[in-house]
Amino acid sequence: MIVSMIAAMSKNRVIGKNNDLPWKLPDDTKFFMEKTKGHHTIMGRKNYDSIPKKFKPLPERINIVVTRQKKFQAPGCLVVDSVDEGLTIAKVNKEPEAFIIGGAEIYKLGLPYADRLYLTEIHAEIEGDTFFPVFDRNRWSEISRVHHDTDERHAYSFDFVVYEKK
């Protein structure tokens, strides 16, 4: 099973502000939905809480929420107490590619397991309070990069970048 992490981050590694995205990038949202559709998605409780009610659980995915809260309820989701437990469920279900979808703490815990990173690298420094973990880029090979310019729907230019662990 391939373990992938998927995130959008600014030049200063911001991934969130006030438990929300500090940007509106519809094509990035579409990319996320298309990549993760049909797969196990592993997220932290705060990330789960940030998802608008109408999208909970994320449709056409097996949603796994990682939390230390023993009695946490997430209707339509599996609730576990570790990233490892979430990945074990995906593996038992013969998932070809499981996705770790955040937030910051879950990315940090998931990084040692990751084989692939799908990063939307936003070409701007953006104010935020939640950050993607620092990782050693020398341990990763860039497999692809697709540029997206600013336009009427996207205030920032960005690249869809795929990295694989060396």
Q: Is 63 exposed, middle or buried (0-12, 13-18, 19+ CB in 10 A)?
A: buried
pLDDT attached to residue 129: 97
- Rounded Cα–Cα distance for residues 76 and 155 (Å): 34
Question: Is there a contact between 132 and 16 (Cβ–Cβ < 8 Å)?
Answer: no
Give the C-alpha distances (Å, rounded to integers) separating 89 from 65, 79, 93, 155, 158.
Answer: 12, 11, 6, 38, 33
Question: Is there a contact between 90 and 42 (Cβ–Cβ < 8 Å)?
Answer: yes
pLDDT attached to residue 158: 98
Please provide the size of the chain in residues: 166
CATH of the domain at 110: 3.40.430.10
Does this model's pTM top 0.85? My answer is yes
**Nearest by Cα to 131 from 5, 4, 10, 6:** 10
Total number of domains constituting the chain: 1
Mean pLDDT by 10 residues, the chain (166 residues): 98 96 97 98 96 95 97 97 98 98 97 98 98 96 98 98 98
Paired tokens of 161: 């970048």
Range of the domain at 54: 2-165
